[in-house]
Amino acid sequence: MLVTEVPESPDGDTFFPERDAERWVAVDRTPLDDGLVVVEYERRRG
């Protein structure tokens, strides 16, 4: 799963569901311009 983290809290009416930390682990983080960060998650086995 790829998730772009946004440093602000913009107004909106659509949100991505909360990630279950027991099922997903971050394996890579790529900083972008303006404070954005793309995080790659992999599902834990089991």
In tens, the pLDDT along 6-45 reads: 898 889 998 888 989 999 999 999 999 899 999 999 999 8
- What's the pTM? 0.80
Residue type, 8: E
Neighbour-count burial for 7-42, b at 16+ CB within 10 Å, e otherwise? eeeeeeeeeeeeeeeeeeeeeeeeeeeeeeeebebe
DSSP 1-46: -EEEE-SS----S--PPPP-TTTEEEEEEEE-GGG-EEEEEEEPP-
Give the tokens for residue 3.
């998730």
For residue 46, what pLDDT is reported?
A: 74
Q: Where are the domains of the chain?
A: 2-43
